[in-house]
Amino acid sequence: MAGAARKKLVGRYEVGRTIGQGSFAKVKFAVDADTGAPVAMKVLDKATILNNRMLQQIKKEISIMKIVRHPNIIRLNEVLAGQTKIYIIMELITGGELFDKIARQGKLRENEARKYFQQLIDAINYCHSKGVYHRDLKPENLLLDSRGNLKVSDFGLSSLSQNGFLHTTCGTPNYVAPEVLSDGGYDGSAADVWSCGVILYVLMAGYLPFEENDLPTLYDKITAAHFSCPDWFSQGAKSLIQRILDPTPKTRMTIKEMKSDTWFSKNYVGVRHGEDENVSLDDVQAAFDNIEDKYVSEQVTRNDGGPLMMNAFEMITLSQGLNLSSLFDRQQEYVKRQTRFVSRKPAKTIAATIEVVADSMGLKVHSQNYKFYKNLCSKLESIIWRPIEVSAKSALLRTTTC
């Protein structure tokens, strides 16, 4: 029919509308033409991957997501490659983020929080059995399917380790375990368990157990495990959370101990899933083969004494005066989402743009050595601008709302 819309096909998948978009990828609704099943198709540009030095990061994340096959983990089906694009075919999740549910309701009923927590622990226990450690567990990375079941997503900061002993400092500050902040390395399993404990607290309270306006004070509270449970927590829930949020990893509650806990085991039905599949990573390897030869990224050599390369976690840790009050609202009974952004522009370009915008708003600013000094915001002493090595999720700059 002349007026009929042409269907776009990628492999056997009919590609539909865009349902999500980030800095480096689009997510499309698609349908498997063979089965009629709806899927999510993540579309990545090969040149962008290389230009932002994301090749190994994305390859690792995709490989890990293919390895972990569990009902409470978002499923990655396959990876396809076109001439200029990489297509990641994933399970379509329609229930949104667990974070949004908390934001709407303020806090969850204890039984509902327990159900999600049980599903989270099942998923993380399975990951650990495969030597996979998530390292960025938080409500924003927990999705809900159409039946209300939890799905762990976003393995961008995850690690694959045989012994579980890790060294990289990463994660979201309010959810990170105290030992991750030290320089001595940490057990990935114990660190994930801590983050799960923070999530359980947030589910039931509607706010964070560790919440401060500046990072040094926040880290002091985390290191000392200085928190208190609200009056509406049952004694069983309080006891469980206190044992999980133990600042000493060796005495912190393990997942095995958790499953024997009276509060946790109430109405608990362990997830039953079949034998582990023989997962092939051949499609992942094929999708990334030779792209460095075809899409050579421009290499920039800095010899002008410009700012150092660093990731965002290092940046905010070194920024001792950085005020985080804009990330939280103490007047609300729920944790607020952190607004984040990334930029591929050089630091000088970003700095020049800020000066122009600030001037148009009647604000007086001056910069020195890539630092901007007030008066951009009355609560902000300075913003440190440095070019950062952008990865799929870890290199993120926080914005500040005046």
Q: Is 289 contained in some domain?
A: no
Q: How many CB atoms lie within 10 A of CB 282?
A: 8
**Within this chain, do residues 346 and 323 fall inside the same structural domain, yes or no?**
yes
pLDDT tens profile 96-125: 999 999 999 999 999 999 999 999 999 999
Of 95, 103, 85, 110, which Cα lies nearest the Cα of 201? 110
| Low-confidence winner among 59-73, 250-264, 292-306 (lowest mean pLDDT) | 292-306
**Within this chain, do residues 37 and 157 fall inside the same structural domain, yes or no?**
no
**Within this chain, do residues 247 and 105 fall inside the same structural domain, yes or no?**
yes
Q: Could you tell me the pLDDT band of residue 134, with boundaries at 50, 70 and 90?
A: very high
* pLDDT for residue 110: 97
* pLDDT for residue 107: 94
SS3 content of the chain, % helix, strand, coil (to 5): 35, 20, 50
* pLDDT for residue 230: 96
Question: 341 — phi, psi (to 5°)?
Answer: -150, 160
Strands across the sheet containing 371-373:
366-368, 371-373, 382-384
Percent of the chain with pLDDT over 90: 51
Percent of the chain with pLDDT over 70: 73
**Within this chain, do residues 117 and 234 fall inside the same structural domain, yes or no?**
yes
| Low-confidence winner among 87-96, 254-263, 290-299 (lowest mean pLDDT) | 290-299
Q: Could you tell me the pLDDT band of residue 306, with boundaries at 50, 70 and 90?
A: very low
**Within this chain, do residues 245 and 157 fall inside the same structural domain, yes or no?**
yes
Boundary of a domain, candidates 265, 290, 307: 265
- Is the pLDDT assigned to residue 199 strictly greater than 60? yes
**Within this chain, do residues 116 and 205 fall inside the same structural domain, yes or no?**
yes
* pLDDT for residue 240: 98
pLDDT tens profile 37-90: 999 999 999 988 888 888 888 999 999 999 999 999 999 999 999 889 999 999
Boundary of a domain, candidates 265, 283, 313: 265
- Which residues, listed in sequence order, are joined to residue 91 by a DSSP beta bridge? 39
* pLDDT for residue 276: 62
Catalytic residue positions, numbered: 136
Structure tokens at 108: 């969850």
More confident residue, 357 or 298: 357
Q: Could you tell me the pLDDT band of residue 184, with boundaries at 50, 70 and 90?
A: confident
Structure tokens at 130: 């495969």
Residue with token string 């899927």: 39
Strands across the sheet containing 76-81:
8-10, 13-21, 25-32, 38-45, 85-91, 76-81
In contact, 203 and 116? CB cutoff 8 Å: yes
Mean pLDDT for the stretch of residues 124-135:
95
Mean pLDDT for the stretch of residues 133-150:
95
- Is the pLDDT assigned to residue 387 strictly greater than 70? no
Q: Is 277 contained in some domain?
A: no
**The domain containing residue 19 runs over which residues?**
9-92
* pLDDT for residue 275: 56
| Cα separations in angstroms, 320 against 317, 323, 324, 371, 384 | 7, 9, 11, 14, 11
Number of domains into which the chain is organized: 3
- Is the pLDDT assigned to residue 218 strictly greater than 80? yes
pLDDT tens profile 16-34: 999 988 777 899 999 999 9
- Residue 42 known to bind ligand: yes
pTM: 0.74
pLDDT tens profile 334-370: 555 554 444 556 777 777 777 777 776 667 776 665 5
Mean pLDDT for the stretch of residues 209-231:
93
* pLDDT for residue 170: 86
* pLDDT for residue 89: 95
* pLDDT for residue 25: 87
**Within this chain, do residues 201 and 255 fall inside the same structural domain, yes or no?**
yes
* pLDDT for residue 121: 98
* CATH number reported for the structural domain that contains residue 261 in this entry: 1.10.510.10
